Structure 1
Amino acid sequence: MTWLVTGGAGYIGSHVVSALRGAGMQAVVIDSLSSGHREFVPDDVPFVHGTILDSELVARTMLDHGVTGVIHLAGFKYAGVSVQEPLLTYQQNVTGTAELLKAMELAEVGHLVFSSSAATYGTPTGNIVTEDTPTQPESPYGESKLIGEWLIRDQGRARGLKHTSLRYFNVVGSGSPELYDTSPHNLFPIVLRALTAGKTPRINGTDYNTADGTCVRDYVHVADLATSHVAAARALAAGRPLERVYNLGSGDGLSVRQIMTAMAKVTGIDFEPEIGPRRAGDPDRIVADGTLAARDLDWKMRHSVEDMVASAYEAQKRAAAARI
């Protein structure tokens, strides 16, 4: 089978392409390069510069390359920014997904793995999020991802589309030094950029009801995440039944203080984080239970926190050297 990876030039998408190739599967990439990087796509992987909002282009790409399934990662992914840019968020994530589904129907492509988000849960009442936890998104980003799931579900009912959606929290690390997180909003690149610039990273709040007083979240390695996207694709292709949604979570999480300690250890840069006030609305602890994904999608946490930091640091250093 040949899989179209939307957003395949991005941080997560490029790792999914790499995992597909490692599994002996063919990949085709479509990406607008609004946040992706052309150099993240191998030269021997077909690349189409375009947007999923152009359903005719997407359908033509599928037909031209014999695509039989889609792994859908393209979208506007900044939850905080989405509050200021709701129309852009809905256009990219809701309209974009609808246009992709239209293209898939035109090209008679019947398998879809959707990169959703744990932002669909909002702030849950419990500390462990399962697939049965009520969805109560609190940002246009989370809402748009949930609507995307609904669109896909309804197209499955109407047209027999085989699909699953994967929800996860914070994606970190690197599976290859050539591929790295360039987000201006994610914790790992923020801390690493601060340290290499001689600045002191900051912790927002140390009075949470956790073991060390800092909030606890899920952090999952991008290569582990990519492995499960490919496992989902293979399961759909083989006709194996999958759940409608899966959480890709650690089950226990890491505190911000643990992340900072690992950063100092791995980088060799000794520092004491600045302490700022806690942010309004930040819960003490939210982690996801990955039991179902472990059962069906080869999901497991294969990397320690030190592995996560070391791989991210190596990729960042390589990128910085290339810019000199």
Structure 2
Amino acid sequence: MQTKDFYFDLPPELIAQTPLQNRDESRLMLLNKRTGNIEHRQFKDIIEILNPGDCLVLNNTRVIPARLFGIRENGSAQVEFLLLKRIKDNQWEILVKPGKRAKVGDTIVFNEGLLKAKIIGLAEEGTRIVEFEYDGIFEEILDKLGTMPLPHYIKERLEDKERYQTVYAKHEGSAAAPTAGLHFTQELLHAIQQKGIEIAFITLHVGLGTFRPVKADNILEHKMHGEFYIMTEETAEKINRTKENGGRIIAVGTTSVRTLESIAADHGEIKPCSGWTEIFIYPGFSFKVVDCLITNFHLPESTLIMLVSALSTREIILNAYKEAVTQRYRFFSFGDAMFIY
């Protein structure tokens, strides 16, 4: 299967630059994954589509201010860091720009020494391993020095940083938001629970791998970047109980899908655990847990549109995307949503 098989033409003006004033008033495309039938609704209508006994699985990771700007020690050249994942203690894997200003052994200084980073190694695809030096609490320093790592396709300034967090964001560690969850409000989640639908939380800290372009012509040659997940006993019990009772498991976002399908046994049972996943889901994948998916509209030729296609078919998904373009849906992180059932 070729990367080009997942291309579609997207007018640049459909890339959403700012979030809507009200989270749950984005548009919602309903897509039958078997027939390809499409309906157009508003996101708040999701409560009419969910059934008592269903289980909604949300990723409660929280985006950290992962973008840092510093200079080389004894120099003046600016260097940009994007924190990808914590390896251990004060060691992180980072993406750095420009790479030529960050060689192994170099030290980068932030805010006149409030934070320092020594580059101690190279990782995959040009990323670096750094060890931070500081006095105090790292998270507090990062909150003071770092900025929100908005995707490159968003050019507008974000006035309220919390709009790039879900209302249920809890555990810090992501370099990007699980954007399908941005449509939910606390009021909508409460109404969903009142209807008899389980709410379950997993944690997957979103790294760069989810958004890395697929450079290989053959998608089988693409390797995913590892991301850390946590499955609690409470969530595992809710999911297993829902499956036993015949309810649907509805993943909110591709990160929830990747977590659930990484953990699931062959017969679909979920056990509490934590670890790293490099799972790559594309057409032909056999889903063990996930029945339905709430997701945003993704980039052409991305691993995300490949995952979405796996839940249905490539042809049905690309036809739905063509319809979304015709109907002027808003795309990507701050865009509209799709419910695949």
User: For the superposition of Structure 1 and Structure 2, which TM-score range results when normalised by the shorter chain?
Assistant: under 0.3
The structure whose RCO (Cα within 8 Å, separation 6+) is larger is 2
Greater Cα radius of gyration, structure 1 or 2: 2
TM-score (norm 1): 0.26
Higher strand share: 2
TM-score (norm 2): 0.25
